[in-house]
Structure 1
């Protein structure tokens, strides 16, 4: 939803799905078209239901009735799970090899990383390139 992306960055929060559809229907009427009030309500409810089903898969079993959707969403409580993870650095005689979790599902040059000790301070692109080069050299040597 591009409207949400830019409006949130600007500090504006609102029901953009309904606003967009209402503006579209207004433009139809303004330019000589016909649009019934009931059709606008049905379209907005349908869009909200589709968005809600996409966001909350369990919601698909409920009807498109607006009042029922509101009741279900107001009573919904997310379930959170957590676990504590403690990272310990490897001993100084060892090297640590990682995959770059920030690039999951997006294979490319930054999807592999190699932790090298003693790299000079530099921009991230140079460090990534050095890491890839050293990682490949290590793999060729060891395999």
Structure 2
């Protein structure tokens, strides 16, 4: 294949990209932390956007030139990251996108929070990208609307991941506190077997 015709947006240069070959492309990363992107319960479009961003497969020149600025360093994006990070006890600095994502993935936290921490960056990035597209088409999305949208997605994920848990808080800070203090209620039943008396025979 001529080098100028190479499909740069793919993992490989053969041009092979079908449903049957999709797993073959992804499995190359199976032992990598990037597999956190493909979390169960996360909408495919969110995971796919995360994968494209991680691999810088977004075919928009100005974004590629100012990648970290769009998703991390601009004032509004940074405010959203800090809102969720402060409630989760995650410390900055928030400078590079991949570094911030990995901080969330590797954060020490309660067991139930671990799965939420892995998907939170994906939901944040998805809303930042959505807001960017709205602005480019003459609309807008406030920081408050972004936070509410991300929180709704986290609540939905929470209910999908832990359907047996009731009383889900409706804000991120309360959700973090709830899961930090959560202790499963374990019920036990004692069964005692007694030998039958001789009169029973």
TM-score, L = length of structure 1: 0.43
Q: Which has the higher contact order (CA 8 A, sep 6+)?
A: 2
User: Which has the larger share of helix?
Assistant: 2
Whose Rg is larger? 1
TM-score, L = length of structure 2: 0.32
